[in-house]
Amino acid sequence: MNEGEMALSRRKFLAGSAGVATVAGLALRPRFAHAQLVLGDMKIDVVSDGSLTLPGGFLFDPMPKDELAPILKKYDLSAEVLTPPCNVTLMRHGDRTVLFDVGSGPDFAPNAGTLLASLEALGVVPDDVTDVIFTHAHPDHLWGLLDDFDDPLFPEASYMIGKTEWDYWIDPKTVDEIGESRASFAVGAARRLAMLEDSITFFKDGEEILPGVAARATFGHTPGHMAFELRDGSESLMILGDCIGNHHVAFEKPQWHSGSDQNPELGAKTRMALLDQLAAEKMRVVGFHLPNSGLGYVDKTADAYRFIAES
């Protein structure tokens, strides 16, 4: 994968999107700002960064094909190609405007990289963002970090990531140990994170990293993957990232190893425990790759789980 990327310039975006907004006005909102809710004093928007196009084997290769086939049929899925959405969460709380992940940028996937247009539909420009919190450092969550001057795209923001995740991707040995198919992930992550080395804040499992926002260790998809529990009084929401990475096999067969997880055994263990908790507590969730904006909740069935989307 070409690491000589030219990310969309913040300067060009601000100049160009102003004209689009003047012409289109609120007509942009249904397309980009596709889910909203209020959590106490928190205003939550789930906005789109587009979608990915992945070979089915990236997810399905470790799974038993005879048991997988009826699940694919049930959900009308191809075994060859998957096109998961990319849902980025924006939280506005008091004087803070917080992004959980920053999407792909323009160079990871042809149908991804729409985050800036989605934010513009809400009247949010990059300079408005006060905090960026990363679930993990895979390309579709991190590579939207820099503009084409290699400056942070959100110049007024503070940045936060789990310490375990940071240590893994910044380690120069990772590129040689991660495997050939993901070596470009390691190169891209190390380059981008290095740009934040003097300004990033680290956190660990269970810490309240912002008022009402607690980090939750959900390791397995990556070595230091984090989810985030947002809570205001009795109301709560879990931002999942990729620890529950789809609405089909992850719910129907959470115990199966997934090819998308860097540690499939740990990923399955994390997924099963979290699904059980979310179903028991009826906690709302936002999943980065879940359908219909990713907002919904987990329902326990007789022998598995299902994702109930909120439209």
Q: Spell out, as residue ranges, where the chain has pLDDT lower than 70.
A: 1-33, 311
CA separation for the pair 249, 168 (Å, rounded): 28
pLDDT of residue 306: 97
- pLDDT of 311 reads 66
φ, ψ for residue 101, nearest 5 deg: 75, 165
pLDDT at 87: 98
Q: Which pLDDT score is estimated for 147?
A: 86
The top-level CATH class assigned to 10-309 is alpha beta
The DSSP bridge partners found for residue 47 are 33, 88
pLDDT of 27: 35
Residue with structure tokens 């907004």? 21
What does the domain layout of the chain look like in residue ranges?
10-309
Residues β-bridged to residue 287: 241
Q: What is the pLDDT of residue 32?
A: 54
> Exposed e or buried b for every residue in 162-187, given b needs 16+ CB within 10 A?
bebbbebbbeeebbeebeeebebbbe
